[in-house]
A and B are shown apart, each in its own frame.
Chain A
Amino acid sequence: AQSVSQHNHHVILSEAASLELGCNYSYGGTVNLFWYVQYPGQHLQLLLKYFSGDPLVKGIKGFEAEFIKSKFSFNLRKPSVQWSDTAEYFCAVTDYNNNDMRFGAGTRLTVKP
């Protein structure tokens, strides 16, 4: 079964710093990849997704992610974070054989003003 690893449990950055959150998955077949964000007290919102095509995916709020198939990775990046990016970020995977979505453990991002 597929699994998703997010290696950073808690990341603390100052405003304007660059961000990269790691995500690795274990499934060897064709996958769909997602990053969701959960702001404090709010529900999961889709940041970006990869199904096929250009492996560099741009999402909302200046976020992007790069699918590197050889590394089974889908890292999330943002060149300059803002205080309002403080949230929990979840990487998730679906594959072509199942109707479930597997989530990583999440990375809590704290951006200091």
Chain B
Amino acid sequence: EPEVTQTPSHQVTQMGQEVILRCVPISNHLYFYWYRQILGQKVEFLVSFYNNEISEKSEIFDDQFSVERPDGSNFTLKIRSTKLEDSAMYFCASSGQGASTDTQYFGPGTRLTVL
């Protein structure tokens, strides 16, 4: 069964550094998402991406964040200058159709630790 994959599984970085989290969505999916889960809190939507542009973003997704689909398979989340409060589990998801009509499939997550 096809799966969403994410790398790395754990990223440790210093405050102020840039990080790039990588995701490979399910190959025939067209919609891509990033979520985060701060330890002990709920899963929060960050951004959705379709047709090479952002379709929705939450208030969390400020100018420090950006997403890109650099090639036909990868979907990345970049945090320009990490803060301590960016420490969280980041989940990528993909769906064949939009979230309003289709199921999202989640990757295993990347644990980001900002020191």
Pick the most buried of A44, A46, A106: most chain B CB atoms within 10 A of its CB.
A44
Contact B42 A32 (CB under 8 A): no
Contact B44 A103 (CB under 8 A): yes
Contact A43 B99 (CB under 8 A): no
8 Å CB interface, B81-108 against A: 91, 93, 98-101, 103-108
- Asked whether A98 is an interface residue with its Cβ less than 8 Å from the other chain, the reply is yes
Of B35, B43, B45, B100, the residue contacting A96 (CB under 8 A) is: B100
Interface string of A77-105 (1 = CB under 8 A from B): 00000000000001010111111111111
Q: Please, which residue of chain B has its CB at the minimum distance from the CB of A92?
A: B43
Chain B residue numbers with a CB within 8 Å of A32 are 99-101
Q: Please, which residue of chain B has its CB at the minimum distance from the CB of A42?
A: B108
Contact A46:B103 (CB < 8 A) given known A100-B45, A100-B58 = yes
- Asked whether B56 is an interface residue with its Cβ less than 8 Å from the other chain, the reply is yes
13 A-B pairs, CB-CB below 8 angstroms? Answer: A36-B106, A43-B108, A46-B105, A49-B103, A90-B42, A94-B99, A94-B100, A96-B100, A100-B99, A101-B35, A103-B35, A104-B42, A105-B42
Per CB-CB distance, the 5 closest pairs between chain A and chain B, nearest first, are A43-B108, A99-B48, A44-B106, A100-B45, A103-B43
